[in-house]
Structure 1
Amino acid sequence: MATESGTWGYRDRFGDSFGRTYFRRFPPGVCSSIGIGTYLGEPTDAVDDDYRAAITAALDGGINMVDTAINYRCQRGERVVGDALADSDIDRESVVLATKGGFLPFDGERPAEPGRYIHEQYVEPGIVDTDHLVRGSHSIEAGVIDHLLDRSLSNLGVETIDCYYVHNPETQLLDRDPEAVYDSLEATFELLERRRAAGDIGCYGLATWEAFRVPESAEQYLSLATVLDRAERAADAVGVDDHCLKAIQLPFNIEMADAFTLAAQPAPPGSDGDGPVSVLEYAHAAGLHVVTSASLGQGALADSIPPAIAAELAGDTTAQRAINFARSAPGVTTALVGMSSSAHVAENIAAGTFDPLGASAFDAIFE
């Protein structure tokens, strides 16, 4: 597992190569403010090889935040990350490893009959209850997450996952009422608190797409205040002093800046204001780490961003400027970038040699 001494040692090894605040606090120590994601690509051996080389290049070049999920590329995403970690010259204690569970994964390839596969592999053995199975493939019930977490540990070949995310919990809101979804989250948080006590995870969080960047009236809206309240109740039930929900993940880029611009979360406790705030503001006030996904818009922003915004951002390439936009947002710990090409790894890492925008300069982009 990642350790304080391991991650700080990694920072000491690479820190002088980067701009200010490239390394940022994240339990249990520090992590790079650019992380490598493993979402895109077909479930093939050739793509596995590309990712394996890209992850190795990232670890060797100054990225120690690695993000994946059990359903990425039919579990190949996790397995390739595990291979790269095992073969890397960078020790495990230096790397912050994150994965996710919620979508029921296929195994190695997409089956000819996905619905039948899910029924045979998950419903018939009693792993998942169809009453809580949304859109045929998603569940956040404690028993399901327990099963998926065990499989992720095996896929990754590690004893501990540093940050385990409940994956897109707002998917449940498509078929279930909010109170039932919050109840399911609370039960799963209790499970994750127990798994943390057992040493299987370092902390947990929510990896979302819609939940925290839509108005309160939206179908897939989640209240971060309510989520944290349920985490506190879970910790009390397990008998620990403080919950270990430490991070949220959400999309954020030049074209999807809702996490900064949309005031849809309640004013945080102790704040001076009484109106709603952005999720970035609420997360900062609550002491949560924010990890951004889709920092390059899944590649769409690598070649083109609005000239007026590009002029305010540092970087030699368009992709570097787009990455630096995401990691300049107040409250963001790490901007994830999907990297399945070693050539792109070098370019993306180099974004960290430039300083991010200060808070005032970032605010000015939206004036």
Structure 2
Amino acid sequence: MATGRATWSYRDTYGDSFGRTFFRRFGPGVTSSIALGTYLGDPTDEVDANYREAITLALESGINFVDTASNYRMSRSERVVGEAIREASTDRDAVFVASKAGFVPFDRTRPKNPGQYVRETVLDPGLASADELAFGSHTIAPAFIDEMVDRSLDVLDLDHIDCYYLHNPETQLEIADRGTVYDRIEAAFEVLESRVATGDIGRYGVATWDAFRVPDDDESYLSLPEVVRRAERAAETVGNDGRGLEAIQLPFNVLMADAFTVESHAGDDGEPTSALWYAHEHDLHVFTSASIAQGDLAASIPEAIDAQLTGDTPAQRALNFARSAPGVTSAIVGTSSVEHVAENIAAGTFDPLGARAFDAVFE
């Protein structure tokens, strides 16, 4: 597991190579404000090898956070993350590992009959009922989440996962009303609180695509204050001191800034606030997905915004925009090649925007 002593030592080793606030507090220690993503790419041996080489290089160059999920690339991403951590010269205790559960994962390749696979691996063993499956592939049923934690530990070949997310729980809104979905989230949180108590995971979070960045009348909306309240209740039910919910993951970039601009979550004073500000004020770490819009911002950034950002390339400037937002602990970027690793590491040598400069982007 990532420890305070090891992550601070990692920061001492690499910190002088980077700009201001590149390393930020998270969990027991500090993490790089640029993180490695493992979502994109075909489920092939060639892509596995590229990821393995890229992750190993990044861990040995100053990036110590790796984000994956049980379903990414047919479970291959989890497996490669574990292999890279073992191959790297970096101490495992200096690396934060995050994974997720919600979508039914396949095993290396797509089965010939996905429906039969889901029935045999999820429904027949009683991990979820048919009415808990959205699109025949997504569930946050407690037994399923519990099984997925074990599966992630096994596939990663690690004895601890530093942050474990519920993956896109808003998907459940396709088959259940909002109140029922909150109940399902709370039940899943109870499982994750139990796994925090046993030491299998260090903390947990909610990884979303739409839920926290859309208006409150959107069909995909989930209230961040209500999610936090459900986590507090789950911790109380399990008997933990304080909630284990410490992180959220959501898209944020130059083209998708809704998490900062859309005020759809009730603050303590009852006034609406954005997801980023709510997280900032309620001890939630934000990890941004799609930080360079899944590659779209690697070519160019809108001119008016680009002029205010730092970095030698559009991708670097896009990354620095994402990690400059209030409440953001780390910006996740897909890293499946050593060339991209070098570019992403170089992004961290530039200082992030100050608060005034960041706000100026929206004027």
Matched residue type, 1:162: D
Aligned pair 1:349/2:345, yes or no?
Answer: yes
The within-5 A match list for 1:127-206 is 127-206=127-206
CA contact 2:43–2:108 (8 Å) conserved in 1: yes
Between 1:344-353 and 1:106-115, the stretch displaced more is 106-115
Structure 1 unaligned residues grouped into runs of 5+: none
Following superposition, the deviation at residue 125 of structure 1 comes to: 2.1
CA distances 1:17-42 after superposition (whole Å, capped 9, x unpaired): 00010000100110000000000011
Paired with 2:125 and 2:207, the residues of 1 have a C-alpha distance of 27
Matched residue type, 2:156: L
**1:301 alignment partner in structure 2:** 297
Following superposition, the deviation at residue 138 of structure 1 comes to: 0.3
Paired with 2:239 and 2:41, the residues of 1 have a C-alpha distance of 42
CA contact 2:127–2:141 (8 Å) conserved in 1: no
**2:36 alignment partner in structure 1:** 36
Share of identical aligned residues, percent? 62
Matched residue type, 1:126: G
Between 1:349-358 and 1:234-243, the stretch displaced more is 234-243
The partner residue of 2:318 within 315, 318, 322 is: 322
TM-score if structure 2 supplies the norm length?
A: 0.99
CA contact 2:160–2:202 (8 Å) conserved in 1: yes
Matched residue type, 1:299: G
The within-5 A match list for 1:39-118 is 39-118=39-118
Matched residue type, 1:172: Q
Following superposition, the deviation at residue 238 of structure 1 comes to: 1.1
CA distances 1:244-293 after superposition (whole Å, capped 9, x unpaired): 100000000000000001011112x2x4xx42100001011101100000
CA distances 1:188-214 after superposition (whole Å, capped 9, x unpaired): 111111111111000000000000010
**2:354 alignment partner in structure 1:** 358
TM-score if structure 1 supplies the norm length?
A: 0.98
Paired with 1:310 and 1:111, the residues of 2 have a C-alpha distance of 44
Between 1:44-53 and 1:104-113, the stretch displaced more is 104-113
Name the SS of the counterpart of 2:164 in structure 1. strand
Matched residue type, 1:53: E
Following superposition, the deviation at residue 124 of structure 1 comes to: 1.7
**2:230 alignment partner in structure 1:** 230
CA distances 1:288-338 after superposition (whole Å, capped 9, x unpaired): 100000001000110110111111011011110010010011110000000
Paired with 1:349 and 1:250, the residues of 2 have a C-alpha distance of 22
Name the SS of the counterpart of 2:249 in structure 1. strand
Name the SS of the counterpart of 1:283 in structure 2. helix
Matched residue type, 1:170: E
Matched residue type, 1:10: Y
Paired with 1:235 and 1:43, the residues of 2 have a C-alpha distance of 37
**1:286 alignment partner in structure 2:** 282
Name the SS of the counterpart of 1:35 in structure 2. strand
Paired with 2:280 and 2:188, the residues of 1 have a C-alpha distance of 24
Following superposition, the deviation at residue 112 of structure 1 comes to: 2.0
Matched residue type, 1:304: S
CA distances 1:74-133 after superposition (whole Å, capped 9, x unpaired): 000000001001111001100010000000001010112211211122212222211101
Paired with 1:136 and 1:365, the residues of 2 have a C-alpha distance of 42
Give aligned pairs, total: 363
Runs of 4+, deviation exceeding 3 Å: none
Matched residue type, 2:152: S
Following superposition, the deviation at residue 61 of structure 1 comes to: 1.0
Name the SS of the counterpart of 1:97 in structure 2. strand
